[in-house]
Structure 1
């Protein structure tokens, strides 16, 4: 029996297994590619991507350094720092449609309308070139808490605590201390190489500007870890900022306040010196501006009011130059005595005018002073006496003595914006106007008019040297520089620049004449007289415009009125204080400036706060 024979066949492969094998191969292939990619990224390119990752997750934040403090001579704070919360917006994150969403949320939290907030943000972006734009300063703690509680929903919004400059005396010390404000784009171009950044503050005027490098301090750094939206997650490292060095001034804050109060409602300046060493005790100009407002910012209406004010509150009148009027007669008298053009006993008859060729030069007293000698001429401020003296001296002699006394150049105080004034002579006129000098111009200069211009600071420096035996001190107002711990780094002392070209006898006569100008029977400066202290001084009334006929100053419009001056010293025998008062368009020196000096001197010697 034969069995059926069939060839043995291999069983057909299961389709399912086939698919598994293909998938396995594919997965293995992709895993191989992934492994190769990981090897490439982590081994071959590992260092590069590690640096990139760190760069993306770590960020350096600048920590602002508080500025150094400024103190008066008794340790009273004139400029310091207080903590302030500032709202910053990152311009890279707060932009476009997403930025509008953030601003709308922020406006709702702050209780402001969105269009106004956005407009303020646009203005701030144009004004400040920084990456993080300061939108609002001095936030109250409640608002800070509300914003920080919603921090997650406000990417690009940051609250920064920074030291804010604070000026306790406000406008009363504005022109002396100055102010700070944020850098603008132009500032940044000039100062970026010195370490300044776009949102830094810088001294703009006064001591803040002059001592910027000392006061500014050294910034700190903070290394932080941030998420993809720039929010701080962890502080990695901190380098604390260092406060700037501080200044101790020779100035007395009380004197500043009294001087400013005495100028209330007026435009002018007061400078006060210690004549024994040239130190500045006070320098104020009115009206002023509250320096704290430069940090907070002005509204357009506030700024317009300041810039359109005819009294020019932004200008420091203590360092600007004006015609000195009759205060300059002391210099003319000094030159006359030294050049032996006059003797103290020699008299001149004053009929109320002086004739020079066809021209008539009037005396301030139309009916004249009669016969006057040197001391009487200073007492009554006789123009005719000094017209004659000026003619005999000549402009070259007057100019030479004026320059030797410090006029026509800056005082050496180094104050920002200080003018050098002008001492005219023949060469000056020929150079500027291309015409020769006229004799009549010499007469005008001899009584402090014409092209002659001096600053209140210069006049104070001159009087200081006259009453201190002719020694010319360089004015100074910083006595010490302190380190951040209050230790003295540097101490300043008086600097003698030279001596007046005058003998002691000449200076003695000038002082006697000025004592008569306050205490004599016909004294022009009697409004500064004190009961128990002998004051010496000299009034000055400086014409602003030429007048063909006599017109009372008070009958003219404000800008055409005369400037009023008064300079004084006391006590007469051993002076310890010199004061110069300048009232812009104030009228007569005897009635507008002398009473102010008298009230200040009364306060200085008696300690009673004056009534204005």
Structure 2
């Protein structure tokens, strides 16, 4: 039984540009400036001498540049996934104030700005240091709203070690009927990273967890680039010494027919009656290619692109029907 066709296609990239009411955005930014201005001014006054002294100690950092992940297509060449970007707040432990009190004051400021508890930020920094990644940026808040990202961009130059980044985001527009086939990508666990770092993975790089995303991780991932940069003691870029562009991942062409997959899903859900679970497979008796494979109940794999999918994920784990289980592939 085969889900993947004989050929691969080049990856594509869908860019979603956020829109919004300009007036509302401006008001939001002004409010944020008023709320946070006093604390930022205090930090500048108290820590200004230390930051000025440290700014004289530039250093060289080597950063991994994530490649564009390859797309997954149905047998007709219709994309079943898209790539976009989302704002993330990053922090580099080695650029933080040396004084624990000054560090925590910075974390409290970030708590006000990002809505992330200062203690959680401190734990993220500590974990990065324990992994030996003091010189690498780690995310402390993901999927930032545009007004918050704009505010962070305005003040980041005054926050040692804090930067605004655009992270790759994987979206699944096809609906829940494709979730068991495609799977999803997500952050690495510490145990996964201990293995994947041998293949050049950065700790904050998303990986395929289940489904086609996991099975064809090596094909979809691509080859990361590398940037060697000189930065000042706050982590602000001085100059780029050398850079290598990443190579995008290859696309994967499935044997699945999207229209047939949707039809079988609707047929199954409308006729299963009081049954808790159901599954169906449509395949070629000649080639063994799978044209449709449906498992009910299913789930929305887009929840794993949320900044914190914990609550939704726990709901799926607690569901006695086990929606995360692919019924069509279970014994």
Question: Equivalent residue of 1:149, what SS?
Answer: helix
Query: What is the distance in 2 between the residues matched to 1:300 and 1:205?
Result: 17
What residue in structure 2 maps to residue 303 of structure 1?
A: 313
Provide runs of 4+ in structure 1 moved above 6 Å. none
Task: Please tell me whether the aligned partners of residues 90 and 132 of structure 1 are also in contact (alpha carbons under 8 angstroms).
Answer: yes
Question: Equivalent residue of 1:204, what SS?
Answer: strand
Structure 2 length-normalised TM: 0.72
Task: Please tell me whether the aligned partners of residues 58 and 226 of structure 1 are also in contact (alpha carbons under 8 angstroms).
Answer: yes
Task: Please tell me whether the aligned partners of residues 271 and 283 of structure 1 are also in contact (alpha carbons under 8 angstroms).
Answer: yes
Pair 298,145 (structure 1): closer, same or farther in 2 beyond 3 Å: closer
Query: What is the distance in 1 between the residues matched to 2:179 and 2:113?
Result: 36
What residue in structure 1 maps to residue 67 of structure 2?
A: 65
How far off its partner does 1:85 sit? 1.7
Pair 93,288 (structure 1): closer, same or farther in 2 beyond 3 Å: farther
Pair 156,301 (structure 1): closer, same or farther in 2 beyond 3 Å: same
What residue in structure 1 maps to residue 328 of structure 2?
A: 318
What residue in structure 2 maps to residue 418 of structure 1?
A: none
What residue in structure 2 maps to residue 75 of structure 1?
A: 77
How far off its partner does 1:256 sit? 2.2
Pair 160,288 (structure 1): closer, same or farther in 2 beyond 3 Å: same
What residue in structure 1 maps to residue 118 of structure 2?
A: 118
Residues 410-421 of structure 1 mapped to structure 2, 5 A cutoff: none
Query: What is the distance in 2 between the residues matched to 1:226 and 1:108?
Result: 27
Question: Equivalent residue of 1:272, what SS?
Answer: strand
What residue in structure 1 maps to residue 195 of structure 2?
A: 190
2:87 paired with 1:85:
yes
Unaligned runs of 5+ residues in structure 1 are 1-54, 322-612
Map Cα deviations across residues 446-470 of structure 1 (whole Å, 9 max, x no partner): xxxxxxxxxxxxxxxxxxxxxxxxx
2:109 paired with 1:99:
no
Query: What is the distance in 1 between the residues matched to 2:315 and 2:122?
Result: 24
Task: Please tell me whether the aligned partners of residues 127 and 185 of structure 1 are also in contact (alpha carbons under 8 angstroms).
Answer: no
Number of matched residues?
Answer: 263
Unaligned runs of 5+ residues in structure 2 are 1-56
Structure with bigger gyration radius:
1
What residue in structure 2 maps to residue 289 of structure 1?
A: 299
How far off its partner does 1:299 sit? 4.7
Query: What is the distance in 1 between the residues matched to 2:139 and 2:176?
Result: 25
Pair 320,158 (structure 1): closer, same or farther in 2 beyond 3 Å: same
How far off its partner does 1:237 sit? 3.1
Map Cα deviations across residues 513-571 of structure 1 (whole Å, 9 max, x no partner): xxxxxxxxxxxxxxxxxxxxxxxxxxxxxxxxxxxxxxxxxxxxxxxxxxxxxxxxxxx
Map Cα deviations across residues 375-417 of structure 1 (whole Å, 9 max, x no partner): xxxxxxxxxxxxxxxxxxxxxxxxxxxxxxxxxxxxxxxxxxx
Greater relative CO (CA pairs within 8 A, separation 6+): 2
What residue in structure 2 maps to residue 141 of structure 1?
A: 146
Question: Equivalent residue of 1:78, what SS?
Answer: coil
How far off its partner does 1:126 sit? 7.4
